[in-house]
Amino acid sequence: MTNATTRQWALTAAVLAATTAISGTAATAQGVDLSGETVEFVIPFAESGGSARWANFFAPLLSEALPGNPTVVVRYRPGAGSTEGANWFQQQTTDDGTLIFGTSGSTQFPYLLGDPRVRYEYQDWQPVLASGTGGVVYLPPDLGARFDGDFDDLQDEVFLYGSQGATTLDLVPLLAFQMLGLDVDAVFGIEGRGDGRLMFERGEANIDYQTSSAYIQSVQPLVDQGLAVPAFSYGALDADGNIVRDPTFPDLPSFREVCEATAGCETEGTAWDAWKAFFISGFAAQKLVYLPGSTPDEVVNAYTEAFNAILARDDFAEMAEAELGVYPQLTGAGAQSASDQATIVSDEAREFVLNWLMESYGVSLN
């Protein structure tokens, strides 16, 4: 990894290590009144995954915090690995505060990789919230019984995995599976991670991952019933940019730990650097709320102040931990910095991933 890239990781870690919002705005939200309005909170995913749960968590809180207490309704626009919804948002000119867009790593990855389906530009949008998250990989009970902290005893197993596509957020688990030496047959075409979980529940897949919010709500009950066994979390970034255990799942080993324990998996070199780069974009700085680029400053400030008020609630930490896990929630300059980091990747990491996508899945973005 180059010194510049190392500094990028350190900057990302420093930005995302904060657990409270960066408060303060350049101007107040004077003159903004959304009384009687309906705010559409659009996400480019189906209603069964982690993004839907994240958006539905914040929607009623925003309704209480925004001036005029508008009704905030979550709308779903899935398709083309989330690029369809992002392309739609790029064309919107509703800048009075009644339209916001929730993006995720599955939207950021095609942008980073130069996917020709992408007709959106992150630099045109105005971020008002950045949420970090995590992910947990889990197995059915029979395979979970053979997992003892490494995947050495599962090298002869054929795994089936429901995937939204190799260039979506699934890039992170798919590359991790390859680094671990697993024989994974990805079944592409599902619309959301919730569909992947349903495949697992029906016995149509024998390895899956969910983002933290979806795991807490929908997979932990399966674990409690003995129907699923967690293997590892992807981890989190410490202040020095190192992968450590996820604070939401401190009893689970991180991917780094499992990789180090599994023969042939390396935690240094190009593959590791590429995995870490996309982990940062896909998880450490995964979910962001944007307003259209033409939105006036007073509306942007109204949203920043509303999210600051939400994060300052006495009950926010408890509510967020139960629904989303323990992760940074950033506004203002913090949200802008996180947005920048989530949409930047080194040339070396991008080239490695593009070559891997072609060699492993026949996916070419040229």
**% pLDDT > 90, the chain:** 71
pLDDT in tens, 51-76: 899 999 999 999 999 999 999 999 99
Report the C-alpha gap between 233 and 212 in whole angstroms.
9
User: What residue type is assigned to position 46 of the chain?
Assistant: A
State the greatest distance between any 2 C-alpha atoms of the chain, in Å, as a whole number: 64
Closest among 94, 106, 100 to 59, alpha carbons compared: 100
Q: What is the pLDDT of residue 29?
A: 57
Report the C-alpha gap between 150 and 147 in whole angstroms.
6
pLDDT (average), residues 104-123: 92
> Per-domain residue ranges for the chain?
3-132+283-347, 135-281
Common-topology check for domains 3-132+283-347 and 135-281: yes
pLDDT in tens, 309-352: 999 999 999 999 888 888 888 999 989 988 888 888 889 999 99
Count CB neighbours of 202 within 10 A.
8
CATH class of domain segment(s) 135-281: alpha beta
Q: How far is CA 12 from CA 79, 118, 274, in A?
A: 30, 25, 15
Q: What is the pLDDT of residue 286?
A: 86
- Determine the Cα angle at 120 with ends 118 and 125, to 5°: 155
Residue with tokens 């480019």: 44
CATH no. for 3-132+283-347: 3.40.190.150
Q: Are 75 and 40 in contact (CB under 8 A)?
A: yes
**Residue partners of 7: CB distance under 8 A and separation at least 6:** none
**Residue partners of 260: CB distance under 8 A and separation at least 6:** 267
Report which of residues 214 and 81 the model is more confident about.
Answer: 214
pLDDT in tens, 226-282: 999 999 999 998 767 788 999 999 999 999 999 999 999 999 999 999 999 899 899
Count CB neighbours of 224 within 10 A.
9
Q: What is the pLDDT of residue 69?
A: 97
Beta bridge partners of 187: 162
Structure-token pair, residue 4: 């510049």
Residue with tokens 């994974």: 184
